[in-house]
Structure 1
């Protein structure tokens, strides 16, 4: 940051990096954090699928996972109705307080934060409210990567077995609703759309354009050392999966909607194209996708019912396989009498009972009877 600028005067701002997983969100979050924006700590640890780091606050990931599990929504859920489920979480006052308190605690570290998580789009309204409550300006950057590459990357790195059609539908559902949720309103909150390919090809120009549009002061005033660090961080070869929609073999109507959604979102990378007319087209695409999904769901109803029946049978089979062992039966009625009680019965009486039950003892046992019960310490 420019040392001549009063750091305390920098207004609070939160950059929310949204978009589908495997679309370059980690790269963008990594760049702006190196340039001076703060990723709330601790972060999710890097792994083989993202060796340079995720740039994700661990608290956000864990909290989002809890909320998604609570309303039975998947990260890449293709159901349009899933947005209604997560919307119920967004409307809860305790959730809003929790998010606002968490943001407030991290503004003690820096005035400009970056929050990124593939689950973020499901709760953008909640985060917008939380930021405004702590006097911060919420701004949004949505990453755009060709949907076929997103699908291919998920299948490669996440061992996803749900199929290309499901993943493509999840991408359409995620991006169309993310676009709707990030539109500016009377409360403010700028946004920008960033192509992953542009970020890898010329990160300086792409990031500068974004920072100017959203007024990200830490990025605009980054020093030369941080800029050199980003040059080392960005790898143009990060785009390791290159496939096309034709390679996915999608159903015709889903293929068309996916392509149309990609084309329309690409227009928004130019802020001048982010207009009510463009929004109207995207609204129509969202409605068309909802119609397609509901039609497909109605046709596949029997498959869903059969799948639930199969799962129920498997559960019953597992339960039937768990049989509690029956308690061992006593050897005889005599065994039900405690030993200390039996010891008080005269030896002659005990022998008579055993004889009647056919359990006479040998001479050695009779000798012990004559001695009486053993005492502790003998």
Structure 2
């Protein structure tokens, strides 16, 4: 792909689209692509969970997936410790060199603005930052925001049920708090999913001005019409509320407070020390909350591990005495089964 006009003559830019899966990242990435930015191909093919396309480079997905497997981290990992485990991959020079080499190749043929979007991206933002710095590429972050109840409801509807509502909500809190921290201090913007569907021109053009995205600022009428054809308010199919979810009170409070603080960042454009301190406090509280739950559930974890282990004499293991499809041990065993493609997003 080549870029023409102002977009082809400006500085090289890297636009990193982050946020939880099912929060509108695909729609935004595809919008930027239609307006003239470049998503490296080949792209991940559409499927029944996202029929209009993911806006993702297959190379990027495979690269991130390989690093997560080596880190023993899931895309939807709710463990605060998982950020440190995944982060170790970013310190390996061979990994840094692999990404750096690939990124440099994407700016051939007059490409000036590259868009990277993948639900796994947040785990490796530091790695991408390093690659961009090596090549003098300007980097910006766009974080998509959708109410956590709708994110969880959408994942429950479209993805395999390897995680329940509580696990998915914990994953959302963990992901959003650490994504905020990883992008803090960089050139960033927050975009509401609902605003994108209601009238995409307002948030996208504001994004173009804030981050200096020339492909947005110089988009032709033909490209704009293509985006109008892409974005349909009917995409807002899931409208889950707290009344529809069974989530512990403590986790619900953490999710609500996290959402409220992120909305302040998005709506008031407020990057203040006091707001950052509140988000840091939320991240510390979530870590404590998770570690307490982990300690309480230790017996269930050990029971699940014992049942998974096969006897040395070749006999079949006795079934564990847990209620069918309800006990924590059951959910833990299901979590280690092979996952379908959609559940890995």
With normalisation by structure 2, the TM-score equals 0.88
Structure 2 counterpart of 1:116: 117
> Which residue is 1:15 aligned to?
15
Aligned partners of 2:145 and 2:192 also within 8 Å: yes
SS of residue in 2 equivalent to 1:17: strand
1:130 and 2:131 matched: yes
CA distance in 1, matches of 2:263, 2:136: 32
CA 2–98 in structure 1, closer or farther in 2 if over 3 Å, else same: closer
Query: 2 CA distance for matches of 1:103 and 1:271?
Result: 34
Instruction: Single out whichever of 279-288 and 263-272 deviates more from structure 2.
Output: 263-272
* C-alpha deviation, 1:144, in angstroms: 0.5
> Counterparts of 1:155 and 1:293 in 2: how far apart (Å)?
21
**Shift in CA distance, 300/224, structure 1 to aligned 2, threshold 3 Å:** same
Measure how far apart 1:5 and its partner are: 3.8
Task: Please state if 1:164 is matched with 2:165.
Answer: yes
Residue among 180, 200, 203 paired with 2:200? 203
Quick one: structure 1 residues 173 and 55, their matched pair in 2 at CA, closer, same or farther if it must change by over 3 Å? same
Deviates more, 1:83-92 or 1:239-248: 239-248
2:311 corresponds to 1:316? yes
SS at match of 2:62: helix
Deviates more, 1:292-301 or 1:86-95: 86-95
> Does 2:277 match 1:280?
yes
- Provide the C-alpha distance between the structure 2 equivalents of 1:237 and 1:141, rounded to a whole number of angstroms: 23
State how far apart, in whole Å, the 1-side matches of 2:184 and 2:278 are: 14
Gaps of 5+ in 2: 317-345
Ranges in structure 1 where 5+ consecutive residues have no aligned partner:
322-378
Cα offsets for 1:120-176 (capped at 9, x unmatched): 000001011111111101100011011111111111111224210000000000000
Match of 1:54 in 2: 54
Match for residue 79 of structure 1?
79
Higher Cα radius of gyration:
1
Q: Do the aligned residues in 1 keep the contact of 2:41 with 2:58 (CA within 8 Å)?
A: yes
Q: C-alpha distance in 2, partners of 1:71/1:58?
A: 20
Alignment partner of 1:302 out of 299, 302, 306: 299
Q: Who is 2:188 aligned against?
A: 191
Give runs of aligned pairs for residues 1-378 of structure 1, distance below 5 A.
5=6, 7=8, 9-109=9-109, 110-184=111-185, 189-270=186-267, 272-312=269-309, 315-316=310-311, 319-320=314-315
Q: CA RMSD in A?
A: 1.7
Contact 1:73 1:82 (8 Å CA) reproduced? yes
TM-score (norm 1): 0.80
Q: Distance in 1 between matches of 2:7 and 2:198?
A: 33
**Number of equivalenced pairs:** 314
* Partner-residue secondary structure (3-state), 1:114: strand
**Contact 1:155/1:161 (CA < 8 Å) preserved in 2?**
no
Does structure 1 conserve the Cα–Cα contact (< 8 Å) formed by 2:35 and 2:216? Answer: yes
